[in-house]
Amino acid sequence: MKQIILPLIGTMIFLILVGFFVTNPEKYIKNQTSENKQKIVKINDLEISVDISDTPEKRSKGLSGRESLNEKKGMLFIFDEKDQTPIFWMKDMLIPIDIIWINNGEIVQIDKAIQVPEKDTPDTKLTQYSPEVSVDYVLEVNSDFSDKYELKAGDNVDLSQI
């Protein structure tokens, strides 16, 4: 009798657990998609789809290791506090970029066409990039992006969709 009852109880417990996770899949899908939902930064009338870098770990990694970046795509660095003077470098970068420094909803500086360092460049020899004034956000995009779309200091940056 135990040989029949124990497998039946095990099967019932399994079915109950599966039913528990399947009954409300929207809850699990909603949590995942809201976290992965693409964000938009708008500069003038240009919409840029961005990945968000808002933790020390994400900010440290940035675009390092990426072999390409789609057109009208970038990475937005969000800091824990406003009015920062962050230091960026090109450690482990594989693509050249423009760095767009943003403060109070406008571009305050653009470092253009920053090239990938030579392979095996020691960390101590990597060029450091920093804004001349404090910033709230930093946007990294493909090299020459700012020239292609005629972006300049003073341009309005809409971050309301972040």
Same domain, 78 and 102: yes
The tally of domains found in the chain comes to 2
Enumerate residues 6+ apart whose C-beta is below 8 A from 69: 63, 95, 97, 141, 142
Model pLDDT, residue 11: 60
Same domain, 86 and 17: no
Same domain, 10 and 74: no
Nearest to 157 by CA among 39, 38, 48: 48
CATH of the domain at 66: 2.60.120.1140
74 Ramachandran zone, left/alpha/beta (phi>0; psi -120 to 50): beta
Same domain, 129 and 67: yes
Long-range pairs for 112-118 at CB < 8 Å and ≥24 separation? 112/143, 112/144, 112/146, 112/147, 113/143, 113/144, 114/90, 114/143, 115/90, 115/143, 116/90, 117/90, 117/91, 117/93
Q: What is the pTM of this model?
A: 0.78
**Average of pLDDT values for 35-44?**
82
pLDDT-derived band at 38 (thresholds 50, 70, 90) equals confident
Model pLDDT, residue 27: 42
Same domain, 15 and 50: no
Same domain, 18 and 73: no
Model pLDDT, residue 126: 97
**Average of pLDDT values for 132-159?**
98
Same domain, 32 and 110: no
Same domain, 57 and 101: yes
Same domain, 19 and 95: no
Give dist(CA 47, CA 53) in Å, integer. 18
pLDDT in tens, 98-121: 999 999 999 999 999 999 999 999
Report whether pLDDT(31) > 50: no
Higher per-residue confidence, 31 vs 69: 69
pLDDT in tens, 91-100: 999 999 999 9
Give dist(CA 59, CA 81) in Å, integer. 14
Report whether pLDDT(86) > 70: yes
Which residues form the domain of 76? Answer: 38-158
Q: What is the mean pLDDT of the chain?
A: 86
Tell me what percent of the chain is helix, strand and coil, each rounded to the nearest 5. 30, 30, 40
* Beta strands per DSSP E along 91-130: 97-103, 106-114, 128-129
Same domain, 61 and 96: yes
